[in-house]
Amino acid sequence: MSTSTSRSPFGTRLHEAMAARGPLCVGIDPHPGLLAEWGLADDVGGLERFSLTVVEALADRVAVLKPQAAFFERHGSRGVAVLERVLAEAAQAGALTIADAKRGDIGSTMAAYADAFVGEGSALAADAVTASPYLGVGSLAPLLELAAKTGRGVFVLALTSNPEGPQVQHARVADGRTVAQAVLDDLRALNAPELAAGAPLGSVGAVVGATIGGSGQVHDLAVGGPLLAPGIGAQGATADDLRSVFGAALPAVLPSSSREVLRGGPDVAGLRAAAARTLDEVGRVLAGA
pLDDT exceeds 80 at position 134: yes
Do residues 10 and 147 lie in contact, with contact meaning Cβ atoms separated by under 8 Å?
Answer: yes
Q: What is the mean pLDDT of residues 103-109?
A: 97
pLDDT bin (cut points 50, 70, 90) of residue 267 is: very high
3-state secondary structure of 256: strand
Does this model's pTM top 0.75? yes
- Contact between 216 and 185 under an 8 Å Cβ cutoff? The reply is no
Burial classification of residue 218, based on how many CB atoms lie within 10 Å of its CB (0-12 exposed, 13-18 middle, 19 or more buried) = exposed
The per-residue pLDDT for 232 is 81
CATH of the domain at 149: 3.20.20.70
- Cβ contact 118:152 at 8 Å: yes
- Residue 287 pLDDT more than 90? no
Task: Tell me: pLDDT of 289 over 80.
Answer: no
Asked, for residue 262, whether it belongs to a domain, the answer is yes
Q: Is residue 2 part of a domain?
A: no
pLDDT at 234: 62
pLDDT of residue 116: 98
Coil, helix or strand for 134?
coil
Q: Is 102 a catalytic residue?
A: yes
Residue 1 lies inside a defined structural domain of this protein: no
- Torsion over CA: 67, 138, 136, 250 (sign): negative
* Phi and psi, residue 227, nearest 5°: -115, 105
Residue 124: pLDDT band with limits 50, 70, 90: very high
Q: Which of 21, 61, 102, 277 is catalytic?
A: 102
Structural domain contains residue 289: no
Give how many domains the chain has, as a whole number: 1
Q: At what angle do helices 44-58 and 76-92 cross, to 10 degrees?
A: 10
Q: Residue 4 domain-assigned?
A: no
Give how far the C-alpha of residue 228 lies from the chain's centroid of Cα atoms, to the nearest Å. Answer: 6
Report helix angle 44-58 to 268-287, nearest 10.
50
C-alpha 41, offset from chain centre: 27
CA atoms of 281 and 124, how far apart (whole Å): 32
What's the gap between Cα 214 and its chain centre? 23
Q: What single-letter DSSP state applies at residue 46?
A: H
Tell me if 17 is assigned to some domain. Answer: yes
Amino acid identity of residue 55, one-letter, is V
Q: Is residue 5 part of a domain?
A: no
End-to-end CA distance of the chain: 41
**Which residues form the domain of 235?**
10-284
Q: Residue 13: its pLDDT value, please?
A: 98
Q: Which residue has the higher pLDDT, 58 or 211?
A: 58
Average pLDDT, the chain: 94
Better-predicted residue by pLDDT, 236 or 279: 279
How confident is residue 188, by pLDDT bands cut at 50, 70 and 90?
very high
SS3 226: coil
By three-state DSSP, how is residue 39 classified? coil
- Flag whether 214 is in a domain: yes
